[in-house]
A and B are shown apart, each in its own frame.
Chain A
Amino acid sequence: MSVQTWTFIIVGLTFALYIGIAIWSRAGSTQEFYVAGGGIPPIANGMATAADWMSAASFISMAGLISFMGYDGGVFLMGWTGGYVLLALTLAPYLRKFGKFTVPDFIGDRYYSNVARTVAVICALIVSFTYVAGQMRGVGLVFSRFLEVNINTGVYIGMAIVFFYAVLGGMKGITYTQVAQYCVLIFAFMVPAIFISINMTGNPIPQLGLIGNMTDGSNMALLDKLDQLHRDLGFAEYTSGTKSMIDVFAITFALMVGTAGLPHVIVRFFTVPNVKGARISAGYALIFIAILYTTAPAIAAFARTNLITTVSEQQYAGMPEWFKKWEETGLIKFEDKNNDGLIQYVADKSANELTIDRDIMVLANPEIADLPAWVIALVAAGGLAAALSTAAGLLLVISTSISRDLIKMQINPNISEKGELLSARIGAVFAVIVAGYFGIHPPGFVAAVVALAFGLAAASFFPAIILGIFDKRMNRQGAVAGMIVGITLMLFYMIKYKLGGFGGGTAEDWWFGISPEGFGTIAMAVNFVVSFAVSRMTPPPPQEVQDIVEDIRLPSGAGEAHAH
């Protein structure tokens, strides 16, 4: 059977599975719609969190990014896993004990203020929309590459699927579909990785293959071989980076804190039965994530070595079939500058003849390693699972923000349960349409700002939540001032150095040598300082709020998530 046929079969089967689960687990109440009734077993919640978290970027782009960044790629690996330690230790158990439905719920109640709630809602919407647009685009890309449909048709199909189970199933439907999606995506990621690891190092465990020796007869360590290849071609050594240490630190920190502050990740911890469950499910989530995140750097190093040894100084005419195939998509470009018929792939830009899009590293891996057609189809299904599960989680946050944080808590507090559920569903419809619009007409800035969603989350929510739990004296004035200053500063830096607004600027003008991706760390620190200073100059929070803080610090009696 051809790759095309296999792809239709496997993608079709997985989609049927997702829809089946959505129908079986559709939500009947707002509580089920928002937090799945608070009854999800921790291990299932861990899987759902992992799928929610790992987006098209983690699945398709990350290994390729690391492949081209070498050591510097570690910022993503540490940043996107280390955040779970912060989440498990400093946020998840307390927010679960608090027992409401959303992050703005917590901010609004803890800071006894609808202004704080509104600021939090706006931050949540900005973060979620920048993130979801990238996901719908990812769905479109996978469809267009593997099913050879138009990219917009791909986005429409993705919209229809997400629409179906997010609108119908709410959090309950999404959770169980995400469990299935996790299984699909991790299987799809591991199978080619294991095959390639055996090919190159003789070790079936990619994590061990990475520190193993080559089986090409040289018996050199794989990473030494790769460093040597890099040196020979004039690239920086694979295992040492090119970014400055301060920037590596700032980016890693911003990604960690941003991860812990992303509303669609936090909300997952409202779905478990109690505080104990919230703690352990963060642990499960990180194990499930770590399986992919420790395999990705192995794939990156394998693919990089494989690529260089396959193409460097080789006859262009003698390239394998996958090379030609990806050349047709424009993701590999070859230009024979010195007309010798050989491929020169070197660091020197004027002599280099080959450009490779980093996204193809994962997608083309099975073909490069000559794996069977069903594995290639599986990778397509895995990429779709990753993109759809993340999109659904984000859409739910958006719809909840609209129906609960805006309509129920502010505009019409007397809305009936049925009305609220209906407005949540309408909110989801609205969110799907907006996300689809951005997927089809991606504004130029979307790709640039997706990575910055983390900086925004770090600069806005994280300090307000942490201080809300750990600093009893923190009051409304401090938190609101901190959030506003933090997100404004982050937006300013992002617009100035990423999008060229406010006079723009280059890497030389960066403050303290920190890139926009890492600036969330600075904006977060400023948020903390402002919150602290303002809160100490203004009256302490009322007694009942201080009692709330006392209460969320103790784990017992969390009960069900409650409406009020």
Chain B
Amino acid sequence: MSTDNKAQKYWKENLGYLFILLAIWFVASYVLGIFLAEPLNSVRIGGAKLGFWFAQQGSIYVFVILIFVYVRLMNKLDKKYGYDE
């Protein structure tokens, strides 16, 4: 595998991860917390309506998890292509 080829493959896999993680990012905040907040409010989590909860709590937890998943995935990817130090 030539260096250029390797770099391109690495970048492509990286973009694949980005796409999936950003899709989750969008769903957790915009879809669940805003667009679907009203229908979701008929479901409850503890004493809170679910749409409201996503807008003020849930989305933030998802964001934190997303970054750590990204870090894990990228560290693995770096190792796979030998870009780790």
Interface residue ranges, A against B (CB under 8 Å): 66, 71, 73-74, 77-78, 81-82, 84-86, 88-90, 93, 207-208, 210-213, 221-224, 239-240, 245, 248-249, 252-253, 274, 276, 279-280, 282-283, 286-287, 290, 293-294, 297, 550, 553-557
* Alpha-carbon separation in the docked complex, A212 to B47 (Å): 5
Q: Within residues 1 to 29 of chain B, which ones have a CB less than 8 A from any CB in chain A?
A: 7, 10-11, 14, 18, 21-22, 25, 29
Convert B39-77 into 0s and 1s, putting 1 for each residue whose CB lies closer than 8 angstroms to a CB of A. Answer: 001000111110011011101110110111011001100
Instruction: Report A-chain residues with C-beta under 8 Å of the C-beta of B47.
Output: 211-213, 221-224
- Chain B contact residue count (CB 8 A cutoff): 43
Question: Is there an interface contact between A239 and B52, defined as CB atoms closer than 8 Å?
Answer: yes
The residues of A that contact B64 with a CB separation of less than 8 Å are 283, 286-287, 290
CB distance from B80 to the nearest CB of A (A): 12
> What are 28 pairs between A and B in contact, CB < 8 Å?
A71-B52, A74-B33, A74-B52, A77-B59, A78-B55, A81-B60, A89-B67, A89-B70, A211-B45, A211-B57, A224-B47, A239-B52, A248-B34, A249-B30, A249-B34, A252-B34, A276-B71, A283-B67, A286-B63, A290-B60, A294-B61, A553-B11, A554-B10, A555-B85, A556-B82, A556-B83, A556-B84, A556-B85
Question: How many whole Å from B82's CB to the nearest CB in chain A?
Answer: 8
Chain B residues near A293 (CB-CB < 8 A):
60
Residues of B within 8 A of A81 (CB): 59-60, 63
Q: How far is the CA of A73 from the CA of B70 in the complex (A)?
A: 28
Complex Cα–Cα for A224 and B46 (A): 11
In the complex, the answer to whether B70 meets A239 with C-beta atoms within 8 Å is: no
List residues of chain A with CB within 8 A of the CB of B61. 290, 294
Which residues of chain B come closer than 8 Å to A224, judged between CB atoms? 47
A239 touching B75, Cβ below 8 Å:
no
Contacts of A553 in B (CB 8 A): 7, 10-11, 14
- Knowing A222-B47, A245-B34 are in contact, say whether A274-B7 is a contact too (CB < 8 A): no
Q: Which residues of B contact A (CB under 8 A)?
A: 7, 10-11, 14, 18, 21-22, 25, 29-30, 33-35, 37-38, 41, 45-49, 52-53, 55-57, 59-61, 63-64, 66-68, 70-71, 74-75, 78, 82-85
Contacts of B56 in A (CB 8 A): 66, 71, 73-74, 77, 210, 297
The distance from the CB of B37 to the nearest CB of chain A, in whole angstroms, is: 7
CB closest residue in chain A, given B22: A89
Which of A78, A221, A276, A279 sits near B60, CB closer than 8 Å? Answer: A78
Which A residue sits closest to B37, measured CB to CB?
Answer: A71
Kindly provide the distance from the CB of A318 to the nearest chain B CB, expressed in whole angstroms. 30
Complex: A282 Cα to B63 Cα, angstroms: 11
Contact status B78-A276, CB under 8 Å: yes
Q: Is the CB of B34 within 8 A of A212?
A: no
Given A212-B47, A286-B64, A293-B60, A74 and B70 touching (CB < 8 A)? no
Q: Nearest Cβ distance between residue B9 and chain A, in whole angstroms?
A: 12
Chain A contacts of B60 at CB under 8 A? Answer: 77-78, 81, 290, 293-294
List 6 extra interface pairs beyond A286-B67, A293-B60, A555-B78, CB under 8 A. A82-B59, A211-B53, A222-B47, A224-B47, A239-B41, A249-B35
A73 vs B34: C-alpha distance when bound (angstroms): 12
A208 to chain B, nearest CB (A): 8
Chain B residues lying within 8 Å of A223, measured Cβ to Cβ, are 47-49, 52
A237 to B51, CA, bound (A): 14
**When chains A and B are docked, how far (Å) is the Cα of A71 from the Cα of B29?**
13
Whether the pair A252, B7 counts as a contact (CB closer than 8 A) is: no
Nearest Cβ distance between residue A532 and chain B, in whole angstroms? 18
Which residues from B are CB-within-8-Å of A82? 25, 29, 59, 63
In angstroms, how far is the closest chain A Cβ from the Cβ of B5?
Answer: 13
Chain A min CB distance to B34 (Å): 5
- Distance of A399 Cα from B76 Cα, bound (Å): 39
Chain A residues near B18 (CB, 8 Å)? 89-90
Beyond A212-B46, A221-B46, whether A77 also contacts B71 by CB under 8 A is: no
Partner of B21, one of A89, A248, A276, A297: A89
> How many Å from the CB of B53 to the closest CB on chain A?
7
Q: Contact check, A554 vs B52: say whether CB atoms are below 8 A apart.
A: no
- CA gap between A66 and B75 in the complex, in Å: 38
